[in-house]
Structure 1
Amino acid sequence: MFVVSLSYKVPLEQVDDHIEGHISWLKAGYAKGMFLASGRKVPRDGGVILAKGNRKDLEAELTNDPFHQHDLADYTITEFDPVMVADGLEALQG
């Protein structure tokens, strides 16, 4: 499992110019089964994506994000092994 943290490098106005493309890209990641959850950071200086799969495929997918293609955000990928989860989230394990 991966936590992808996006940090915006530009003003929100520039981010918002590409938000529709970013949302379409996120939906495609969900359709592929790679993304599990996503949302904005509070305060809105970036976002977070929970993803599964292998790191190589995730890194390749991130290059398709309009935020990456237009150099709007930096990405930090943290891999972790969810050994304990709340009831109902067992699918996140292994």
Structure 2
Amino acid sequence: MFIILLRLTKDNGHMAEHHFPAHKAWLTQGFEEGVFDLAGRLTDVGGAILARNTTRADIEARIAKDPFVVYGVAQPEILEMSPSVASDAMTHLIPEDAR
């Protein structure tokens, strides 16, 4: 599982609104392909995405195609996580071998 932080850049963060429709289409594709589970805004910082069912190499390639990243609106940080404990509502996020 991956947590992707998209931090708005000082130089181009003001362009987020302009590139948002393309960024949203990119997000939609990730959801449709079963890679993204959750995405949202981080107040005054940028955004975050929860991803799974993918490899590190794939997520790096996918993030490189995000219009926010392509146009320098946001700088990505990819954190890899191995979930082992979850609430009842989130147990589907824990791999079978970790339960």
Query: Shorter-normalised TM-score: what interval?
Result: over 0.9
2:86 and 2:93 mapped to 1: Cα distance? 8
Hey, what does 2:17 align to over in structure 1? 16
The root-mean-square deviation of aligned C-alpha atoms, in Å, is 1.1
C-alpha separation in 1, matches of 2:33 and 2:91: 20
SS at match of 2:82: coil
Output the CA distance in 2 between the equivalents of 1:67 and 1:11.
Answer: 9
Q: CA deviation at 1:45?
A: 1.9
Matched, 1:50 2:68: no
Equivalent runs, 1:32-71 vs 2, <5 Å: 32-42=33-43, 44-52=44-52, 53-71=54-72
Give the secondary structure class of the aligned counterpart of 2:78: strand
Structure 1 stretches of 4+ with a deviation exceeding 4 A read none
Per the alignment, in what secondary structure is the counterpart of residue 83 of structure 1?
coil
Offset of residue 85 of structure 1: 0.4
Answer 1 or 2: which has greater helix percent.
2
Instruction: Provide structure 1 residue ranges, at least 5 long, that are not aligned to the other structure.
Output: none
Which protein has the larger Cα radius of gyration, Structure 1 or Structure 2? 2
Shift of 1:13: 3.5
Residue 72 of structure 1 deviates from its aligned partner by: 1.1
Asked if 1 retains the 8 angstrom alpha-carbon contact of 2:13 and 2:74, the reply is no
Alignment check: 8 A CA contact 2:5 2:48 kept: yes
Identity %: 32
SS where residue 88 of structure 1 aligns?
helix
Specify every segment of 5 or more residues in structure 2 that has no aligned partner in the other structure, as ranges: none
Q: Give the aligned partner of residue 5 of structure 1.
A: 5
- Structure 2 partner of 1:92: 93
Contact 2:13 2:73 in 1 (8 A): no
